[in-house]
Amino acid sequence: MKALNEFDRVPLGLFPTPIHRLANISRLLGADIYIKRDDLSGLGLGGNKVRKLEFLLADAKKQGAQVVFTTGGAQSNHAMLTAAAASKIGMKAILILKKRGVTDCVGNQLLERMLNTEVIFMDTDDYADIYAEMDRVGTSLGVPYYKIPCGGSNALGSLGYVACAYEISGQGVAFDHIVCAEGSGGTMAGMALGAGICMPKTRVHGMMVDSDPFDVITPRLMCETAALLEADDGAMRDNYDLRDMCGPGYAIPSDEGNEAIRLMAEHEGLFLDPVYTGKAFAGLIAMAREGAFRPGERVLFLHTGGAGGIFAMNGFPGTDVTR
Ligand SMILES: *Cc1c(COP(=O)(O)O)cnc(C)c1O
């Protein structure tokens, strides 16, 4: 098997990210809950895409690209972080985003203005249209360009979360469970594969926040990532499961997600986002209430970021307090 340091990487983040225990939430849920702070990954407002971009942009550079394209919805954290990373390493990012979600100059759209990023909206639901448009724009520019898929979720990007699994295994606490959001698949695939390699006793729980067929996407991406690593067959294990936490739809807040956001804010002073981490943490809360974590087991929640999207929210439900 290849070592991760055999792959090119551009340094973008501040690693390792911290792990700490959530004392109040542990008490409330009757389980031993820790958090991995990939929301503090050190670029932009932090988030999981930084780890993927270290591998993807190294590949773009190696191929001589001057322009990097990526895509997502209007409030894509991944697209914003790709632009931030491109700024840092002297490349130009062009974002071709689906005209879906909040396109106003708030949240990640606001941050993209600050980054002086070129943003093109396309009124389509099909990423094939967007990748074709990348080729059209790229060819017309006449400079070498590189296309990063939605969420950075290909095998190379997923290596970022194999690296994260290695990082966790060296941080001094052994975990029985790791819980993370699954939106385009790379984080979960990398984490499940990485855990299979270096934390064989740990189960990884993917909380699906979109309605794509992740039961197919996850093992396929794990296989492709394992092939890139030249890992042996033992690396792919039956060490993960998936749970539907999408609720009313991708990027539409759910009651459970809002409850999780409120719980984390009120009891730990930390913020989760409505699209990914709120719904993922709601999955952890549901598991705790179902008794899925046995006494003495340690649970790690992966905070994958998403701060930018919080500021595209239209209020927050709850008690109206008049002062
Ligand atoms: C993209 C994203 C995720 C999901 O990660 P995938 O690798 O796309 O499945 C989770 N949380 C946040 C904040 C994200 O931006």
Supply the pLDDT for residue 245. Answer: 98
Distance 322 CA to ligand 1 centre (A): 36
| Residue 81 in contact with ligand 1 by CB distance below 6 A | no
Active-site annotation holds for 153? no
What is the whole-number distance in angstroms between the Cα of residue 77 and the centre of ligand 1? 8
Question: Which of the 8 DSSP states describes residue 122?
Answer: E
Distance 153 CA to ligand 1 centre (A): 9
Average pLDDT, 10 consecutive residues per value, the chain (323 residues): 97 98 98 98 98 99 98 98 98 97 97 98 97 98 98 98 98 98 98 97 98 98 97 86 98 97 98 98 98 98 98 84 54
pLDDT given at position 233: 74
Ligand 1 touching residue 306 (CB < 6 A): yes
Length of the chain: 323
Sheet holding 203-208, edge to edge: 19-21, 32-37, 298-303, 177-182, 203-208, 240-244
Tell whether ligand 1 has an atom less than 6 A from the beta carbon of residue 72. Answer: no
pLDDT recorded at residue 320: 60
**Please, what are the domains in the chain?**
4-47+153-310 (3.40.50.1100), 49-152 (3.40.50.1100)
Side by side, the strands of the sheet bearing 67-70 are: 118-122, 92-98, 67-70, 145-147
pLDDT at 234: 75
- Give the nearest ligand 1 atom to 182 CA: 9
Predicted pLDDT at 222: 97
Distance CA 301, CA 263 (A): 14
Task: Indicate which atom in ligand 1 lies nearest the CA of residue 187.
Answer: 7
As a whole number of angstroms, the distance between CA 201 and CA 205 comes to: 13
* CA dist 23 → 26, 258, 272 (Å): 5, 21, 17
Kindly report the pTM of this predicted structure: 0.97
301/64 Cα distance (integer angstroms): 37
